[in-house]
Structure 1
Amino acid sequence: MIQVSGPSVFREYYRLPDKTAKEFTDDGWFITGDIGARDAEGRYYMMGRESVDIIKSGGFKLSALEIERELLDHPSIADVAVVGIPSTEWGEAVGAAVVLRAGTTMAMSDLKPWCNTRMAKYKTPKQLCVVEALPRNLMGKLDKKAVKLLFSV
């Protein structure tokens, strides 16, 4: 979990002491909600948000962002969002909402063999939802909560 501190980090949430207590450590570090990793050379990487970008499936913690990066290499995929879909068997299953490039089509039977050559089988999406556009908020940021709802229809 990435935490930050310093003169440019805000001190508290205005008039929200409970939220401030929850989001800051006792010694004043702000808990960002982002997951990070460090490689053997000491470089740090942001892996994504704890709440929506980590999928807990079959005992594994999967990075939705890592799976998205792989899927963006598929020649038919223009845009993608990967989310955890509730699953009685796995806890969460990997779901991929994709926007296709013009003139292409895709079914799960097309995607699965391609994924199996690129990533571990437990990372391969179990559900596919083809959409015209991914849901975004007013700032244009991907709305993963809305993406999850695409799979409940």
Structure 2
Amino acid sequence: ALWSGACCEFLSKFSTKAVFDTFCKNEVNVFMAVPTIYFKLINYYNELPESDQQKISEQLKSFRLMVSGSAALPVSVLEQWKEISGHTLLERYGMTEMGMAISNPYHGERKPGHIGQALHGVSIRLADENDTEVAEGMQGEIQIKGANVFKEYWNKPKETANTFTPDGWFKSGDIAVLDYGSYKILGRNSIDIIKSGGYKISALEIEEVLRTHPKIKDCGVVGIPDDEWGELIGASLILASKDLDIEKLKTWLSDKLPGYKTPRKYIIQDDLPRNVMGKVTKNDIKQLFITTK
């Protein structure tokens, strides 16, 4: 931004009010944030008087670009933010080791739930556990080649060797599927892909369904170690309404998910554990299930 002659405005710490106040100063027209921030802004907006909501929405419509990154963007968050701002968030994909590699288009259709296509000069493939490219429509690890990819981890030759294939592809650790020409993230191989009864199940897919329930505000889905199944699916729920009946929820889910994707265990939390970037720390959720067996 500075290189192009733009001005950046920083906040000393995150505050939903401070963000909206900055929006309404009519001095910024590009906003980039992680999904958690959009989620918090939506909740704050919904509690404002209608007159304040109208003022904010009018200001947001004048923005040039709004971007979501760092974690998979829930479709429900994208749709709510579009209703508030008039913007379809531009979702993209990158890592410290490679900068940006995949993005929805600046001009053109942005597909909800998808991170888009490979950027110019970047080669992308999806590969299995043996680093063999999978057929189109099959899920696999995102692997990258290009001038954007880093050379090595400083003074860590073993880690460097483990993160590159013998023929030079960088192994991201993220699982995706190519869906009608656009990549869809299914989650981190070590965190969001649950291996249960021979199936590889995307926790993000289950979370998307749970968030559509009117009494669920947010959720986190994890795999819980199990001797028989390998992993059981557990769901931590943040409720919008305290009178949620878990048995009725299971019945509701039976029409939306196959049995092998339906959570077996549930816990209720006031909020999901997160790191400083706002990402949900799923290992903490998993540990909570393990210690409360």
- Return the alpha-carbon distance in structure 1 between the equivalents of residues 148 and 199 of structure 2: 36
1:129 aligns with 2:232: no
Structure 1 match to 2:279: 141
In structure 2, which of residues 132, 142, 145 is the aligned counterpart of residue 2 of structure 1?
A: 142
Choose which of 11, 36, 43 in structure 1 pairs with 2:151.
11
- CA distance in 1 between partners of 2:249 and 2:271 (Å): 19
Give 1:78 shift. 0.7
Q: CA RMSD in A?
A: 1.3
Task: Say if 1:20 and 1:149 are closer, same or farther in 2 by CA, change over 3 A.
Answer: same
SS at match of 1:151: helix
The residue that corresponds to 1:67 in the other structure is 206
Is 1:34 the equivalent of 2:174?
A: yes
Give distance in 2, aligned partners of 1:18 and 1:135: 31
Query: How many angstroms apart in 1 are the aligned matches of 2:285 and 2:244?
Result: 18
Q: Which amino acid aligns with 1:43?
A: S
Equivalent position to 1:48, from 148, 168, 187: 187
Structure 1 CA distance for aligned equivalents of residues 148 and 259 of structure 2: 43
Conservation of the 8 A alpha-carbon contact between 1:48 and 1:54:
yes
Match of 1:76 among 215, 220, 225: 215
Distance 2:277 2:267 in 1: 23
| CA deviation string 1:99-134 (max 9, x = no partner) | 011x42334313211111111011111000100010
TM value normalised by structure 1: 0.92
Describe the SS at the equivalent of 2:191.
helix
Residue 25 of structure 1 corresponds to 165
Q: Is the 8 A contact 1:108 1:127 kept in 2?
A: no
Indicate the residue corresponding to 2:16 in structure 1: none
Gaps of at least 5 residues in structure 2 are 1-140
Q: For residue 18 of structure 1, what is the amino acid of its counterpart?
A: K
Q: 2:242 aligns with which of 104, 116, 120?
A: 104
Q: Distance in 2 between matches of 1:142 and 1:23?
A: 24
- Alignment-derived partner of residue 255 in structure 2: 117
Task: Give the letter aligned to residue 176 of structure 2.
Answer: G
Distance 1:38 1:113 in 2: 31
Q: Deviations over 1:42-90 (max 9, x none)?
A: 3322211111111111121111111111111011111111001112332
Structure 1 stretches lacking a partner, 5+ long? none
Q: Which is bigger in relative contact order (C-alpha 8 A, separation at least 6)?
A: 1
Q: Do the aligned partners of 1:107 and 1:128 also contact (CA within 8 Å) in 2?
A: no
Shift of residue 97, structure 1, vs aligned partner: 0.4
CA drift at 1:136: 0.6
* 2: CA distance, partners of 1:122 / 1:142: 24
Task: Give the CA deviation at 1:91.
Answer: 1.5
Please report how far the alpha carbon of residue 27 of structure 1 lies from its aligned counterpart in structure 2 after TM superposition. Answer: 2.8
For residue 150 of structure 1, what is the aligned residue in structure 2?
288
Kindly tell me the number of residue pairs found equivalent between the two proteins.
151
Q: How far did residue 5 of structure 1 move? A: 1.8
| Residue matched to 1:57 | 196
Q: Which structure's CA Rg is the greater one?
A: 2
- Paired letter, 1:26: P
